[in-house]
Structure 1
Amino acid sequence: MTTELYLTDSYQMTCPSEIIFISPDRKTVALNQTIIYPGGGGQPRDIASLWIDDAEYPIEDITRDQDYSYLYHLAEALPENVQEVTIKIDAAYRLKNMRYHTLLHLTSGYFYKHYGALATSNQIEEDHARLEIKFPEETVPEKLEKEFLQAELEKLIQADYPVTIEHTTREKLTENHDLVRTYVNLVPEFITDIRLVKIADVDVQTCAGTHVTSTKEVGQISVEQLKNKGRLKKRIKVTLI
């Protein structure tokens, strides 16, 4: 199994790793440890390469594997008799996604706290991120302007709340629905140790993604769209400036 270092340190951009499996064509490998976020939960996978001395081997795709956690599919075959590599990820791309991901958590936390609304889906794109929120019948806002929402989110960002990681069990998560701001059934049943990302008293969600360590690191934002998606749903589109 591969040790996922990104779960404990989102800022680690390079690390050594040992090859624990390699395909006959030497273009697919498994590693003993990784800093590469594989994608999921609305966050894209990292842009990453394996390095051997000064030679770069870009990773074209990542697939999940029952025996090795992840298989990394390379653009070029590795040379013979290689046992160790260095992983390097695109730091600017990682940091941008960390900021977006934390912003999405702040946004969903705001809607839960003020309306009891839950996030139903989210996605980080190249130049924006979107979030869909579902409101309870009794709390659907009659009117909500994007300028007002942006001002509210900016207050949360500037408050410089810490972003921390906690762990809980699936049993506790099921028993206490207030522990999480997303639908519990979105967490795969085989996962029993639940990783929670917590932003002070603003938000707490199950999440395996990467985040900044304080809300102020999100930086300047713009709420580009606040759109009705049916009577109980809204879609929010945000960008980093």
Structure 2
Amino acid sequence: MGVPGQKNTPQPPEELANSELFAVDAYRRSFDSTVLDVDHEQNRVALARTAFYPGGGGQPHDLGELRWDGGTAQVTKVKREADRIWHWLDTPEPPRSGIEVFGDIDWDRRHLLMRTHTALHILCGVIWSEYQIAVTGGNMEPGKGRLDFPLEGISTELGQRVERRINEEVERAREVVVDFMGRSEADLDPALIRTAANLIPKEIDPLRVIDIVGLDKVNGGTHVTSTADVGRVAVTGTSSKGKGNKRIRLEVSQYSSAVS
């Protein structure tokens, strides 16, 4: 299974493909499901399947709406806890267990996060290709993010060079593919080793791998299908956070995602 195409790699576990829809199709905007469990104390529900991304890898959780016969509520938080993904609802009366529901993702926000996440991994690939230095930390919000690298120095000129290189990679329209890689293979992949995928618990097999073909490879998150879909990227700041810790901030341009 891949987004957008398929490769000769392991298929996602059937349970994952049937329950975590975002893992196999980041462009899924809506879905139907059944309420598995209700936590009245926190006004949250667990669903049989969901397209809401629960957060992770620096990417925030999704927002959106759940509707059911006789009710509707905004989804204000999504988080994985143990083996379930919980959806916090802005309502004093969440749907009962067993109820059929229909979910809608806040697509404009999700798509902007996808573009931002892919832009950050383009930055990872550019820094690695230029300096053979791996990222050590980062964070993002819709439309903007930052990454830290153990560079010896940082400057406005370096930021300008990195911005130019990022946008060159955007214009190359590199394919971005979601693959599922067997654990024994993943643990030997140099690109995944440098992004610490080998620290993920061994029982997670196969790994879900995001491959910006020819540039960067990492585990996790939702992404656009081509670097061209990221749009124009601006490096908005470079700073030193101490010895061996230099920060690069970026923003992606705003545009409508109505057609995709």
Q: Normalised by the shorter chain, which TM-score bucket?
A: 0.7 to 0.9
**Are 1:145 and 2:161 counterparts?**
no
Decide whether aligned partners of structure 1 residues 47 and 197 sit closer, same or farther in structure 2, where only a CA change above 3 A counts. same
Q: Give the deviation of 1:115 after TM superposition.
A: 1.2
Q: Is the 8 A contact 1:26 1:78 kept in 2?
A: no
- Give the counterpart of 1:160 among 128, 150, 173: 173
Decide whether aligned partners of structure 1 residues 195 and 184 sit closer, same or farther in structure 2, where only a CA change above 3 A counts. same
Aligned equivalents of 1:215 and 1:50: distance in 2? 31
Aligned equivalents of 2:153 and 2:94: distance in 1? 57
Correspondence 1:73-92 to 2 at 5 A: 73-76=88-91, 77-78=93-94, 83-92=99-108
Percent identity between the two aligned chains:
29
Q: Give the deviation of 1:107 after TM superposition.
A: 0.4
TM-score normalised per structure 2: 0.81
Q: Give the deviation of 1:130 after TM superposition.
A: 0.5
The C-alpha deviation readout for 1:181-234, integer Å capped at 9, x for no partner, is 412355345433211111111111122x11000001000121011222334332
Correspondence 1:1-150 to 2 at 5 A: 3-23=19-39, 27-52=43-68, 55-67=71-83, 69-76=84-91, 77-78=93-94, 83-135=99-151, 140=152, 144-150=157-163
The C-alpha deviation readout for 1:141-184, integer Å capped at 9, x for no partner, is 68652111111111000111110012223333333334454123
Higher strand content, 1 or 2: 1
The C-alpha deviation readout for 1:87-108, integer Å capped at 9, x for no partner, is 1111100000000000011000
Q: Is the 8 A contact 1:112 1:181 kept in 2?
A: no
Long gaps (5+) in structure 2: 1-14, 254-260
Counterpart in the other structure of 2:8: none
Q: How many residues in Structure 1 have an aligned counterpart in Structure 2?
A: 235
TM-score normalised per structure 1: 0.87
Aligned equivalents of 2:61 and 2:96: distance in 1? 28
Q: Is the 8 A contact 1:181 1:203 kept in 2?
A: no
Aligned equivalents of 2:97 and 2:55: distance in 1? 30
Correspondence 1:221-232 to 2 at 5 A: 221-232=233-244
Higher deviation after alignment, 226-235 or 215-224:
226-235
1:132 partner SS: strand
4+ long deviations beyond 4 Å = 79-82, 140-144
Q: Aligned Cα RMSD in Å?
A: 2.5
Q: Is the 8 A contact 2:173 2:226 kept in 1?
A: yes
Correspondence 1:171-210 to 2 at 5 A: 171-184=184-197, 187-207=200-220, 209-210=221-222
Aligned equivalents of 2:191 and 2:59: distance in 1? 24
Q: Is the 8 A contact 2:182 2:206 kept in 1?
A: yes
